[in-house]
Amino acid sequence: MAAALCRRFFSAVRVSGVLQAPPGACLSGLTLNLLHKNSTKVEPLYQCKFLHTTLSRKGLEEFFDDPKNWGETVVKSGDEWHAKHLRNKSNEDLHKLWYVLLKEKNMLLTLEQEAKRQSLPMPSPERLEKVEKSMGRINLVIKEREVALRLLQTGHENPRPGEWRNDFLGRTYWYNSKEWPIPWYLNKKYNRRKFFYLPHVKHFIRLRIEQHLKKQARMKSLEKKKQFLLQKKFPHLAAQSQN
Amino acid sequence: MASGKVLYPLYQLGNPQLRIFRPNFFMTLVRPGVPQPEDTVQFRISMQMTRVDVKNYLEKIYNVPVSVVRTRIQYGANNKRNHKNQRVKKPDYKVAYVQLGQGQTFQFPNLFPEKEETPEPGSIEDIQKQFMEKERQRQTADPRRGGVTDWFGL
């Protein structure tokens, strides 16, 4: 499975340098095909030959593992993709890797469901976790890149506009803006919301701050007490402080 | 697209088509509980997917010709109780029945065929197997007695 994954991915990566946008692997969005039945496809004019990058084009067979692995109790799989390795890959490569991992996850989910159906253990279930983690890391790397670009271009970190606001209880929170078809002053429900607090709430803000500080002090003293007890019980295991 | 709670940008007539990179939707091919026609494939999909999404997904990612998709939502039961007598809900899921195009047929394969394992000579499994066979031979009765147990007689 790992070999097939690697083969699929590296064949995709090898060709990415040659093409601008390979048609077979162009998966940049799922459009509503049904509405445009008579649309003509405009083929872009490229000088280089089109090469198909997918290894196997067997359709529904990709929902299942290599037939040699059917019936095995243990299927060997390689390491998962780590963030430091993914950061070295280009956006196109990450995009293609995402779909490779997506297909792999679909295959593992079908296998899991079939194993439950037959009341048999699924061979090597750790593969699912590996794939999920790798996909999460791809998202992380791409978010990092987006945040960096956005900071340079606009100076904002998050894509959704927002601001710090007070509610009617005096609490300060990050208010995330929402997209509306009407302006805010015509929004009846929004106008009923209060983003300010009346003077009598100031007393309760002080009480809340006091509560928070007391809780922090409690946690700190508990930690100190635990350290003291450990020191008393195991003096020989005390960490050597560098003097 | 992503399954679960995701905020999509507002759509108004005339807006460009929403493009999503790295869709978070997964499809599980399942063996049908009730016999289905030969060109029908049964999937379990995310609750946020529509039949149009399923068709595009299979055509673009798997290159499978799809003629028609029908979907239904399967309600997960809430009858079971845990040790605290609280009701435990089985999650709901959406089922898609996909009819393949171009006259293709699909039969769900047997993913757990029984394999004959020949243990290596010298391994633990081989020694165990040989021991069990010897024990079985020892415990069989004398064939000359014709099936009569050894409680009787001398």
Q: Which residues of A126-150 are buried (b: 16+ CB within 10 A; e: fewer)?
A: ebbebbeebbebbeebbeeeeeeee
Q: Cα B11 vs. chain centroid, distance in angstroms?
A: 37
pLDDT of residue A191: 97
A176: buried, middle or exposed (CB in 10 Å: 19+, 13-18, 0-12)? Answer: exposed
Where is pLDDT greater, at A57 or A76?
Answer: A76
Q: Do A59 and B60 touch (CB under 8 A)?
A: no
Tell me, yes or no, if B8 comes closer than 8 A to chain A by beta carbon: no
pLDDT of residue A233: 94
pLDDT of residue B93: 97
The token pair that represents A224 in the structure block: 């100190």
pLDDT in tens, A138-161: 999 999 999 999 999 999 999 999
Inform me whether the pLDDT recorded for A163 exceeds 80. yes
In chain B, % of residues over pLDDT 70: 99
A124: left (phi over 0), alpha (psi -120 to 50) or beta: left
Of A28, A105, A178, the CB nearest to B21: A28
Count, residues in chain B: 154
Q: A8 pLDDT band (50/70/90 cuts)? A: low
Q: A34 pLDDT band (50/70/90 cuts)? A: very low
Q: Do A71 and B56 touch (CB under 8 A)?
A: no
Which residues of B are less than 8 Å from A111 in CB distance? 111
Nearest-by-CA chain A residue for B63 = A59
Q: Do B64 and A60 touch (CB under 8 A)?
A: yes
Inform me whether the pLDDT recorded for A32 exceeds 50. no
pLDDT of residue A5: 52
Q: What is the mean pLDDT of residues A197-213?
A: 97
Q: How many other C-beta atoms lie within 10 A of the C-beta of residue B89?
A: 12
Interatomic CA distance for residues B42 and B97, integer angstroms: 5
Which residues of A are less than 8 Å from B20 in CB distance? 29-30
Which residues of A are less than 8 Å from B2 in CB distance? none
Inform me whether the pLDDT recorded for B38 exceeds 80. yes
Tell me, yes or no, if B98 comes closer than 8 A to chain A by beta carbon: no
Instruction: Judge whether A34 and B55 are in contact, CB under 8 Å.
Output: yes
Q: A33 pLDDT band (50/70/90 cuts)? A: very low
Q: Which residues of A206-228 are buried (b: 16+ CB within 10 A; e: fewer)?
A: eeeeeeeeeeeeeeeeeeeeeee
Q: Name the average pLDDT for chain B.
A: 91
Nearest-by-CA chain A residue for B100 = A60
pLDDT of residue A121: 95
Q: Do B21 and A95 touch (CB under 8 A)?
A: yes
pLDDT of residue A82: 97
Interatomic CA distance for residues B71 and B96, integer angstroms: 4
Tell me, yes or no, if A56 comes closer than 8 A to chain B by beta carbon: no
Interatomic CA distance for residues B109 and B113, integer angstroms: 10
pLDDT in tens, A173-183: 999 999 999 99
Which residues of A are less than 8 Å from B63 in CB distance? 54, 57, 59
Interatomic CA distance for residues A236 and B9, integer angstroms: 61
This prediction's pTM? 0.74
What is the ipTM metric for this complex? 0.82
Rounded to 5 degrees, φ, ψ at A164 are -80, 130
Interatomic CA distance for residues B76 and B93, integer angstroms: 7
In chain B, % of residues over pLDDT 90: 69
The three-class DSSP label of residue B71 is strand
The token pair that represents A146 in the structure block: 């987006």
pLDDT in tens, B47-97: 999 999 999 999 999 999 999 999 999 999 999 999 999 999 999 999 999
